Homo-oligomer: A and B are copies of this chain.
Amino acid sequence: MELTARKKQILKVVTERYIDAAEPVGSKYIAQAMGGSVSSATIRNELADLTEMGYLEQPHTSAGRVPSPKGYRLYVNELMEQRQVSPDEAADIDAALGGKRKELDAVLAQAGQMVSSIVSYPAYAAAAGKSGLTVRRYDLLPVDALSFIAVVMTADSRVKSQLLRTDLPLPDGQLPNLANLLNTHFTGISTEEMGAKLMSLASQLKAELFMPLSQAIEFATGVLDRSAQHQFFTTGQTRLLSQPEFQDFGKANDLMALLTDRKENLPVPDENTSMQILIGPENVNEALKDASVVVASYDIGDNMRGLIGVVGPTRMDYAAVAARLSYFAESLTRMFGKNNELPPKEDHIS
């Protein structure tokens, strides 16, 4: 059977109406929405076809039609009108993002919050670090006999520090030498290599030197691991509860659990796609089988990608959400671009 232009138009009307009203759409309404050029009976025939073809579903015999995931997919791919954010919305987003520079984490958390409040669904945000991150430079600062500060700068120019304490007093004046050792042997290599090298040094160094060294390296590998791993921020989970489809319990509960306790399982867009829409059963995650996800990614610089996504009912307003999300992603890319206009050079100082 062929998918005529009229069938598509009907599918569009059904989908948009259902998105709006959350109730099955009947033939009478469709006929009217299409300008009355055809009767409801004709529509019924078309509806029967569309149902047979799998684009529509019927909750029960005497109810109207509802888009199936396949129907939504067609709608999203072909029928949906690309929407632009209104100047008002754009201004809102710009204003909110216009604040002063913050830590990456803070930006992410806040971006999630804003998206959530703009689209009225729960949102999530994360940054995916490149996995091959290495340390560019170490500094060790003396504090007292039993403690010192380790400062680690990663290849992507982030700086972390921590106070470390040893059990054995540090030999006087040895800290610069240790830092030297770190900077010559423990930069630009993977955490595994760092571990191996450390082992090989174990026998060659005295304990009072080896211990602080291994502490510094432990700290550094911790930093690398933490930045390689995605950290997910979620907000607005509550907004799910006001959606009619999640009045039912099991679903809401599973989704909430996913959003609060198993965030890392939220979908990440494929490499190289800037926007992805996952409809119902297209989601791998069981808890999302009855929901949809719109997720966008953007460039943070330093070889990292940020991602920001929205979780809602399959019935969500894809056009509006997608438009806002992509505007958001663009703004973030721009913002991070500015922040990074000066890529620091390689430069070792011990």
A-to-B contact residues, CB < 8 Å? 139, 141-144, 146-147, 149, 151, 153, 157-163, 165, 235-238, 241-242, 247, 249, 252-253, 256-257, 260-261, 342, 344-345, 347, 349
Q: Classify the interface of chain A: helix, strand, loop or mixed.
A: mixed
Q: Is the CB of B158 within 8 A of A159?
A: no
Partner of A257, one of B149, B153, B238, B344: B238
Ordered nearest first, which 4 A-B pairs have the shortest CB separation?
A161-B161, A238-B256, A159-B161, A159-B163
| Chain B min CB distance to A202 (Å) | 20
- B149 and A139 within 8 A (CB): yes
**A159 contacts across to B, CB distance below 8 A:** 149, 161-163
Assess A345 versus B141: contact at CB under 8 Å? Given A161-B161, A238-B260, A252-B241.
no
Which residue of chain B is the closest to A163 with respect to CB atoms? B159
Q: Is the CB of A235 within 8 A of B249?
A: no
Q: Considering only CB atoms, which chain B residue lies closest to A161 in the complex?
A: B161
Greatest chain B CB density within 10 A among A143, A146, A158, A242 is at A143
How far is it, in angstroms, between the C-alpha of A238 and the C-alpha of B246 when the chains are bound?
14
Determine if A149 and B144 form an interchain contact, defined as CB atoms under 8 angstroms apart: no
Does A146 lie within 8 Å of B342, measured CB to CB? Answer: yes
Chain B residues with CB under 8 Å of A161's CB are 151, 159-161
Question: Which B residues are in CB contact (< 8 Å) with A143?
Answer: 153, 344, 347, 349
Closest residue on chain B to residue A254 by CB atoms: B238
Between A and B, 25 residue pairs with Cβ closer than 8 Å are A139-B139, A139-B141, A139-B151, A141-B151, A143-B344, A143-B347, A144-B345, A144-B347, A146-B342, A149-B151, A149-B159, A151-B161, A153-B163, A157-B163, A159-B163, A160-B161, A165-B342, A235-B260, A236-B260, A237-B237, A238-B253, A238-B256, A238-B261, A242-B253, A260-B260
